[in-house]
Amino acid sequence: MKRLAIFGLFLFSIWVLAQQPAEAPEPRISVIAAAPSTAKRPVRDEYQDVKVVDDYRWLESNNDPEVRAWVEAQNTRTRAYLDSLPQGAKIFDWLKQLERGQSATHYGFAAAGGLLFALKWQPGKQQPMLVTLKSPHDPESEHLVLDPSSVDPSGRTAIEFYEPSVDGKQVAVCLAEGGSEAGNLRLYDAASGKALADVVPRVNFPTAGGSVAWNADGSGFYYTRYPHQGERPPQDLNFYQQIYFHKLGTPANQDSYVLGKNFPRIAEVSLSTSDDGKYLLAIVANGDGGEYEHFLRSPEGKWRQLTEWSDQISGAAFGADDALYLVSRKGAPRGKMLRLPLATPDLKKATVIVQESESVIQGFGFALSGFPPNFAATRDRLYIVDVVGGPNQIRVFDLAGQSLGSVPIEPVSAVSQVLRTPNGELLFRNSSYVRPGAWYVFDPHENQTRATRLRSTSPVDFSDVEAVREFGVSKDGTEVPINIIRKKGLQLDGSHPTVLTGYGGYGISLTPWFDPSLRLWLDAGGVYAIANLRGGAEFGEEWHRAGMLTNKQHVFDDFIASAEHLFQAKYTNPQKLGIEGGSNGGLLMGAVLTQRPDLFRAVVSVAGLYDMLRFETTQNGQFNVTEYGSVRDQEQFRALYTYSPYQHVKDGTKYPAILLTVGENDLRVDPWHSRKFAARLQAATASGKPVLLVSFSDAGHGGIGAGRDQQIAMETFNWSFLFDQLGVTFASPPLEH
């Protein structure tokens, strides 16, 4: 669930029931074979004096031949159904044409040595590439540093992250195969793209991610390191992340320890340096729950602990003015901004320069690598990206905290990255639900925003589409924002096939994004809705905490309320509503389909957690305890047991049609969650609707690391299933080339 990355009134309104037909007609669906039989082999556990029986524990054995045969039987059944759908091939062809008609996309920028480094997704390529640019206004200056296909022509190797040296002459790249995210670090010459001899193992793993920061003269770098064989017991090898230093040209086994012996077992470390490379900042997360400590290394090589968990500093970054900028949530759940001069690095001497307001200052959310803080300080300006219930805004201040207005951006849009340029301008990416993303530059002296030439284009036109923001009312009276993407002029008569999604966890805010593939759903008469649930940070840390640990049920209540709003507002009805979610959003799918199976006709759940009594027995699950809780704590166990999807499947219940998808190389959420949940649902359902499981052998969490062709195939499966189960006809939208 790290980096990454992709939901209720508990009682359905009597009024809504009265508005629906007594017996809604069933959509026409394709014939599907019976589910393979699954043996029950009960295992009895006791948690906090509660006895629990698990009939399918044996499916947790990933490499057992019997389990592999069972998975293959499930795949054969699911693929036979999906391959038989007459619309499936048309959807796949349309998605392939859509990809071919899109422009390249640049993202994940870093500035070094007068160059811009970026990841570039190029249509036709299986994996993103690493490139440099002289300027965002000069795409012709682009230079290829690394195409992963040159390392692995099969398309199974992906760039996990990269970090250029301060002078931009060298770049460290973490590569991983098959979506495993278990990556080693390799070094490349930025100008020639030539691989250097240095290889540093065990820098990245899904449990705690990975990070790199170069020293000032480019002679070496600091990096996160997991224990090597023999240093710790086998069960601890993907924990206890520490910081080491690698000197270029020397064997990795001679690298020196720097910091981390006292870090928690579930520490997640992110490294960064000041512009001149003289100061090193280490941000240490206590698992995934949103607690951080910060450590600073001075130019003299001395380390100082700047913050503790209790200080509630959730984001930190160097400014261009010899200072650190910190997001504090202490007494300010929506965030306030502190400035701390590097000359006096004592948190007690930090100055509050931006007070808490109604908008939310973004920190790190939950995952360090890949989620940099959305603020930037130049030598005379501070830019802060806020979340305003979901969409973003950019506020501007001088370095004393005086407001200087805001940066013009698209309405109801998201800012995915901000980066200060050497001349004091701000480079940022902006996109909305109805417009592809583009990179812009804001000039503070002219107070103008201008588009760069790095603009995404799409062969589909969304000019007849609108995104409206409405609100459902949750069980406890909380208003839940729902972003609804629909064609303009849509008649609200309760008949439209609708897909609802959400996430609700880890302080991750679902901000607007442009998804051109939605055109195929909208042109078929569909509606797409995204709920901003508690557990995210759309309204600050209080919104997050209201959906974590023992408050997790609020997330499911919010999602159910969002579905009921779609009924009450006459968008759709239970026979036309499909839902989808992944990872923590997959847990959401499992919880709501077991709590309110009557509300949904079809469910797509990707890489979900479903057995919440055993999630912490997995490696990555132990990092999730600070977000979900533990069965070892009596109160937290009661909460987990109350909603855990696997334990709440009931025999004889009429469950909706369900498609569960997993990547076999998923090291974040173990695939056995989906196997056990599928087996239990297949044995219990009395609806006659299918419960399907499909496993992808060359993919990780939610399709991470899979080649682009396989990702399109996965997307085709999901859409084909929803079209079939909701009785929707594919309209083959026109594509412009």
Res 11: pLDDT: 24
> Is residue 577 a contact partner of residue 500, using CB atoms and an 8 Å limit?
yes
Indicate whether 194 pLDDT > 90. yes
How many CB atoms lie under 10 A from the CB of residue 97?
Answer: 14
Indicate whether 8 pLDDT > 60. no
Pairing of β 577-582 and β 498-501 = parallel
Q: How far apart are CA 597 and CA 587, in angstroms?
A: 15
Per residue in 403-445, pLDDT (tens digit) is 999 999 999 999 989 999 888 899 999 999 999 999 999 999 8
Q: How far apart are CA 478 and CA 140, in angstroms?
A: 51
Q: Where are the domains of the chain?
A: 47-97+460-725
N residues, the chain: 737
Q: How far apart are CA 209 and CA 261, in angstroms?
A: 18
Provide mean pLDDT across the span 670-684.
97
At residue 695, φ and ψ (nearest 5 deg) are: -115, 135
Q: How far apart are CA 150 and CA 280, in angstroms?
A: 33
Per residue in 115-168, pLDDT (tens digit) is 999 999 999 899 999 999 999 999 999 999 999 999 999 988 999 999 999 999
Indicate whether 19 pLDDT > 60. no
Tell me the residue ranges of DSSP E strands in 165-219.
Answer: 170-177, 183-189, 195-204, 212-214
Indicate whether 27 pLDDT > 80. no
Residue 4's pLDDT band (cuts 50, 70, 90): very low
At residue 603, φ and ψ (nearest 5 deg) are: -135, 130
The answer to whether the Cα torsion of 162, 165, 168, 169 is positive or negative is negative
Q: Judging by beta carbons within 10 Å of its beta carbon (0-12, 13-18, 19+), is residue 719 exposed, middle or buried?
A: buried
Q: How far apart are CA 487 and CA 461, in angstroms?
A: 12
Per residue in 513-552, pLDDT (tens digit) is 999 999 999 999 999 999 999 999 999 999 999 999 999 9
In terms of phi and psi (left: phi > 0; alpha: psi -120 to 50; beta: otherwise), the region of 260 is: left
At residue 212, φ and ψ (nearest 5 deg) are: -140, 145
Q: How far apart are CA 112 and CA 191, in angstroms?
A: 13
Residue 20's pLDDT band (cuts 50, 70, 90): very low
Q: Which residue from 339, 330, 392 is spatially nearest to 361, judged by alpha carbons?
A: 392
Per residue in 34-60, pLDDT (tens digit) is 999 999 999 999 999 999 999 999 999
> Is residue 350 a contact partner of residue 340, using CB atoms and an 8 Å limit?
yes
DSSP per position, 96-137: HHHHHHSPPEEEEEEEETTEEEEEEE-TT-SS-EEEEES-TT
Residue 667's pLDDT band (cuts 50, 70, 90): confident
pTM: 0.92
Residue 370's pLDDT band (cuts 50, 70, 90): very low
Provide mean pLDDT across the span 711-734.
94
Proportion of the chain above pLDDT 70, given as a percent: 94
Q: How far apart are CA 582 and CA 501, in angstroms?
A: 9
Q: Which residue from 68, 118, 100, 92 is spatially nearest to 452, judged by alpha carbons?
A: 118
Q: Domain 47-97+460-725 adopts which CATH fold?
A: Rossmann fold (3.40.50)
Tokens 């699911």: give the residue: 78
DSSP per position, 301-354: S-EEEEE-GGG-EEEEEE-TTSEEEEEE-TT-TT-EEEEEETTS--GGG-EEEE
Could you tell me how far CA 164 lies from the centroid of its own chain?
Answer: 24
Residues 6+ apart with CB under 8 A from 451: 438, 439, 440
Residue 709's pLDDT band (cuts 50, 70, 90): confident
DSSP tag of 442: E
Residue 691 β-bridge partners: 658
* Higher per-residue confidence, 423 vs 587: 587
User: Residue 596 has which token pair?
Assistant: 């309110």
> Is residue 323 a contact partner of residue 279, using CB atoms and an 8 Å limit?
no
Per residue in 66-75, pLDDT (tens digit) is 999 999 999 9
Separation in Å, CA 712 to CA 99, 235, 334, 469? 9, 36, 38, 29
Q: Which residue from 582, 645, 659 is spatially nearest to 614, judged by alpha carbons?
A: 645
Q: Which residue from 616, 472, 477 is spatially nearest to 546, judged by alpha carbons?
A: 477
Residues 6+ apart with CB under 8 A from 234: none
Tokens 């009557």: give the residue: 598
Indicate whether 367 pLDDT > 60. no
Q: How far apart are CA 234 and CA 32, in angstroms?
A: 44
Residue 28's pLDDT band (cuts 50, 70, 90): very low
Indicate whether 725 pLDDT > 50. yes
